A and B are shown apart, each in its own frame.
Chain A
Amino acid sequence: MSLGRNGVNLIITGVGGQGNVLAARLLASVALAEGYTVTVGDVYGLTQRGGSVASHVRWTEGKTLPPLVPQNSLDVLVAFEPLEALRILTQFGKEDTVAVVNDAPIMPIGVQAGRFTYPNLSDLWDALRSLTKQIRLVGATAVSQRLGDIQVLNMVMTGALLGSGFVTLKKDGFEKTIHSVVSRKYVDIDLLAFREGIQLVKGPS
């Protein structure tokens, strides 16, 4: 996917605590190292309490962009949770948005308490398909559970993003950045998760 006149507008979304901030940082670092002008838009605090979160990652060849993606201008969506994918598309999606979406729902507290009902999953997949030009639904949570640590979900998804071909950043940059950004304790499992994520998408869809 070539950089448009206004660069790449990408949003990573999920539920607080799923690690979107680290994934955004990883992605942005790689883009920065490849020479692009990068901006990340984030909000901290108030997010670990089970709410919706989104990191906007924007890179361009030219001048610095403001942190937030304008409405209806989203090029690439990375969603750790399917309901949050819908939430972001509602505000930022457009006809040719492409998306990589994790298929494991996380129940909002309102659903657990019986105040709301989570949408029927197959209806949700249909909806997401109708709202994107291309979508890859991936079982990233299952992979993380298999690897024994749900916290590596963000790495699996970052790998899946790369595997999808929706961004033209280079794999080596990611691995190098994981080494420099992630604490030593987790580097190995994060790399493993990242590579599994790539394979997840490259396999039969």
Chain B
Amino acid sequence: MNSEKSELALLMGNEAIARGALEGGVSYCTGYPGNPSSEIIETMFSYGKDHDIKVEWAVNEMVALEAAAAFSFSGLRAMVTMKQNGINVCSDFLTTVCMNELKGGLLLVVCDDPGPLTSSNEEDSRHFAKIAQVPLFEPSTSQEAKDMAKWGLEFSEEMGVPCILRSVSRLSHGRGGVKLGPVPERRGQPSFDIKKPLVGLPFLVTIHHGTLLKKMKRIQEIFSQSSFNSYHGPQDPRFLIVATGLGVLQAREAVDILDLSDKVGILKVGTTWPLPTDVIKRYLKQAGEVLFVEEIDPFLEDHVKVIYAENGSELGEVKFFGKNTGDIGGSHGPGVGEMTTDIVLDALQRIFKIRKPEESSYKKNVQDIASKMLIPRELSFCHGCPHRASFFAIKAALELDGRKGFVVGDIGCYGLAAGATGYNQIKMLHCMGSGMGNVSGFSQLQSFGFDQPAVAVVGDSTFYHAGLPALVNAKFNQANALFVVLDNSITAMTGFQVNPASPYNGSGEPGSYIPAEAIAQAMGIQTTVLDPVEDIQKAIETVYRNLQEEGVKLIVFRRVCSTYETKESSSDQLIKAKVDPEKCIGEVCGCDRFCSKVLGCPGILYDEEKGKAYIREDACNGCSLCVQLCPRQAISLVERAVE
């Protein structure tokens, strides 16, 4: 969206947040790619072309927040974006920086992933607002996301404290109509006042902590007047729904569907922390029953109950329905999985004792059909993906090694190796870079009689994000550890963002390339670099031999992501693999359709009638892995005929 007129645009929540930052006069935007937050910075990159804004991808959220704070302390406005795991990573700085007074606004945007849909944990970031004692707000629509981003920067500057905007996947990636506003002129000259040091020494912290708490009390009063909090419903509701974020829309829809709008009022809370106590007290006084609709933890629920406990006499008797009471939850129970209209409907039906419609014949019919026909559609590595070869090599090497070795990994496209596409190799997977730290530990088990070799896999982006300390730690503590960096030159899973393994950085500048092996070699670590696809037997042998040796070893499997390469290249890939049906022996002893069954590339299919494998031309980029592994040399690379 590049129009600057005041008109309605269909924006993704993330695009709206970026637009809000632009309209809020932001000067610096940084973050680390993390689904569902990545599109914010990507949108800012496009704004950065026409506006005076510095945008970059950091290697992790901690350095991102630290860098952003530099702008804020120098009088300019900055925004940092991340997913819920990112706020964990930068929490050390977040809980320290709040002790000092900002000059320019600092907006931290965290996009939680309820479900989760694409994460290795399910976490409610709102708790960090409480831990750090900073304001937090939750938008309900794309429009509000834009408004809050803009206002958040202004408010943060006004109060001198970082502010958190908390979104969730469905809001960040959903679209809605947004009215665009004007973009302000350039901000003033940045400067750092050396006469006013910002130092976190213990005795100063005590003073600043006190100041912060007083400030939060003031903000609480301001929030009680905020238009981000609003009420809709009957004048005197006996039943009140208190909701935040998308919960507001879901509650509204559920109330409409059940025709309860004359009985149920909905209190929308937008400024979730500090809780706008006066507003809440006002509506608690009227209501006899309250249901909470919010995403992930009963954060609002718990704190409203504190308000009630402190003001009980004034508020009269109130019955609370929420996650703690078990009254609202999905198939895995309250507080687990994303909130939906269906869950709110279910809760209201039970509370109001509305009979649910009987299971329709449609439902029975469709379930019957599904049980017979609905097969899963598993995820797989793309055709030509180098991870396929990497995990094939590692699997083969571990089998040959014979000591029940295993792979410990983490998040990214290669995380799919916990499944069939990566031969179920990854046996342990947690947060970014955790595989490397784990393997340091597994190797120390050797002195306790543990002899299973543990191999850590880590992506290129993850290596710089969290792997470096683990690498140093392994060397420093003399571990017998094998680390494999899966370097495909790009941060692929989150949408092909750049990182230090890419030829350019986010601004398209060359010269920012830092190969992993350079770092390892500087540390005196034995390092091998090779393309895992080009010679698969060599890849297998390399991993096998490294497994036999002592000390810290690094293998870099380097080959560019095939999907990224296809996207970036201007011409069509002409070299494709082709099966010679005369030579293919299919399912008989000697092969048993190894290419389609075991190798599992989505470009390879098997014709059961003919008993031959064949390759889909549009799903092949000629990587040659299948060519090398076919026992009858039935597959070869041919130049595709150009029409």
Residues of A within 8 A of B (CB): 5-6, 15, 24-25, 28-29, 32, 37-46, 48-52, 63-68, 70-72, 83-84, 86-87, 89-90, 93-95, 107-119, 123-124, 127, 130-131, 148, 150
Contact = CB atoms under 8 A, between A and B. Distances in A.
B362 A93 contact: yes
Contacts of B602: 50, 109, 112
Contact of A95 (B341, B362, B381, B643): B362
A125 B340 CA distance: 31
Nearest to B592: A114
Contacts of B600: 109, 112-113
B175 A25 contact: yes
Interface string B8-40: 101010000000000000000000000110110
A44 B341 CA distance: 21
Contacts of B493: 45-46
Contact of A70 (B10, B341, B374, B379): B341
Interface residues of B, number: 68
B420 A113 contact: yes
A80 B594 CA distance: 30
The 4 closest A-B pairs by CB, nearest first: A40-B175, A66-B249, A67-B174, A119-B373
Nearest to A128: B369
Contact of A127 (B38, B256, B373, B420): B373
Contacts of A71: 342
B10 A109 contact: no
A108 B373 contact: no
B175 A28 contact: yes
16 contacts: A6-B253, A39-B175, A40-B176, A42-B175, A45-B38, A46-B117, A68-B341, A72-B363, A83-B377, A86-B374, A90-B369, A110-B377, A113-B596, A114-B597, A131-B362, A150-B618
B175 A38 contact: yes
Interface string B331-362: 00000000011100100000000000000101
B173 interface: yes
**Most chain A CB atoms below 10 A, which of B12, B117, B602:** B602
A112 B382 CA distance: 14
B43 to A, nearest CB: 13
Contacts of B378: 50-51, 108-110
Given A86-B369, A113-B420, A113-B600, A39 B174 contact: yes
B511 interface: no
Nearest to B367: A90
A83 B375 contact: yes
Contacts of A44: 35-36, 39, 173, 495
B401 to A, nearest CB: 25
A100 B36 CA distance: 30
B377 A43 contact: no
A46 B377 contact: no
A68 to B, nearest CB: 6
Contacts, number: 187
Contacts of A119: 372-373, 375
Contacts of A46: 35, 117-118, 379, 493
Given A40-B176, A46-B118, A68 B593 contact: no
Contact of B495 (A45, A89, A95, A118): A45
Given A45-B36, A49-B379, 9 more contacts: A29-B10, A32-B8, A37-B177, A43-B170, A44-B39, A50-B378, A63-B249, A109-B380, A117-B375
A93 B364 CA distance: 12
A51 B598 CA distance: 19
B246 interface: yes
A89 B10 contact: no
A45 B606 contact: no
B340 A49 contact: no
Contacts of B495: 44-45
A112 B379 CA distance: 13
A127 to B, nearest CB: 5
A83 B378 CA distance: 13
B617 to A, nearest CB: 11
A92 B370 CA distance: 13
B380 A66 contact: no
Interface string B155-176: 0000000000000011101111
A142 B586 CA distance: 29
Given A32-B10, A119-B373, A90 B366 contact: yes
Interface string B493-516: 111000000000000000000000
A117 B36 CA distance: 34
A110 B421 CA distance: 9
Contacts of B39: 44
B382 A48 contact: yes
Nearest to A53: B377
B341 A107 contact: no
Interface string B611-637: 000000010000000000000000000
B277 interface: no
Contacts of A5: 256
A180 B123 CA distance: 38
**Most chain B CB atoms below 10 A, which of A44, A50, A71:** A44
Contacts of A29: 10
**Most chain B CB atoms below 10 A, which of A24, A70, A86, A111:** A70
Contact of B366 (A42, A65, A89, A114): A89
Contact of B593 (A110, A114, A150): A114
Contacts of A117: 375
Contacts of B10: 25, 28-29, 32, 38, 40
B377 A108 contact: yes
A70 to B, nearest CB: 4
Nearest to A49: B379
A89 to B, nearest CB: 6
B269 to A, nearest CB: 16
Contacts of B8: 32
Contacts of B445: none
B377 A112 contact: no
Nearest to A181: B10
